[in-house]
């Protein structure tokens, strides 16, 4: 099912390839949200950004090239940080939201906003040679079902490094998941990619009944809790999974 409008939060290594894939799939409208400007260290893994774009807002750099390549595509660029005060309006204006951010707290904020607004979120993370992607449906499982609480011991991108090709692969996977609702309510599919041997596996993740965001009788609360950690780390042991 092709969504009519998609918001992509983060226009870096994940958001750039995801936006290209969605445009090629035929999505009619994209909203690009990112507060940052292009840095020379971004160029090897963020394909919309070229040396001449260094210092420009990432959303403007990406939007310009998307409009040039796909003239029928409606592209809105917002140079802004998504916060607890702005996220709900963003979600309610779109069919699907892609989490292409690099902040752990922001990822949990986007997951919680999906539960509150009823908007699906496609989560993804990349660290070193590993990548994760999962579509989070409003009725769960959500990111808190998977990781319970934001991790505090994740190395930064500068410390750990990110394989640029892996970011491109996972960003493309995000775009695919944006078009594929989960078939079974309360059951999500965590896609795990290992770039060292190019292996793929899928872990079934069930909604937790006691989840503080999407569990029975729970009420998600939007709050800003970002930290400088790079990404929710790839994990072979999600909080709750099904064989």
Catalytic residues: 157
227 — alpha (psi -120 to 50), left (phi > 0) or beta?
Answer: beta
- CA 9, 13, 16, 17 dihedral sign is negative
Q: How many CB atoms lie within 10 A of CB 99?
A: 31
Which residues are paired to 7 by β-bridges? 31, 97
Work out whether the CA dihedral 42, 43, 49, 51 comes out positive or negative: positive
Tokens in use for 139?
């009725």
């Amino acid at each position: 099912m092709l969504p009519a409008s998609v918001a992509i939060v983060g226009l870096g290594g994940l958001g750039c390839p995801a936006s290209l894939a969605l445009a090629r799939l035929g999505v009619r409208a994209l909203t690009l949200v990112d507060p940052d400007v292009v840095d020379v260290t971004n160029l090897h893994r963020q394909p919309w950004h070229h040396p001449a774009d260094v210092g420009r807002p990432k959303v403007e750099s990406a939007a310009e090239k998307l409009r040039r390549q796909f003239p029928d595509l409606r592209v809105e660029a917002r140079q802004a940080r998504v916060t607890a005060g702005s996220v709900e309006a963003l979600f309610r204006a779109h069919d699907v939201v892609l989490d292409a951010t690099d902040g752990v707290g922001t990822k949990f904020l986007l997951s919680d906003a999906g539960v509150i607004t009823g908007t699906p979120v496609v989560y993804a993370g990349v660290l070193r040679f590993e990548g994760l992607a999962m579509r989070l449906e409003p009725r769960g499982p959500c990111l808190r079902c998977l990781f319970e609480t934001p991790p505090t011991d994740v190395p930064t991108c500068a410390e750990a490094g990110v394989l640029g090709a892996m970011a491109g692969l996972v960003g493309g996977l995000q775009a695919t998941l944006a078009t594929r609702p989960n078939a079974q309510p309360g059951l999500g599919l965590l896609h795990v990619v290992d770039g060292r041997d190019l292996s793929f596996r899928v872990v079934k993740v069930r909604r937790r009944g006691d989840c503080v965001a999407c569990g029975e009788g729970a009420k998600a609360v939007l709050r800003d809790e970002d930290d400088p950690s790079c990404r929710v780390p790839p994990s072979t042991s999600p909080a709750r999974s099904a064989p």
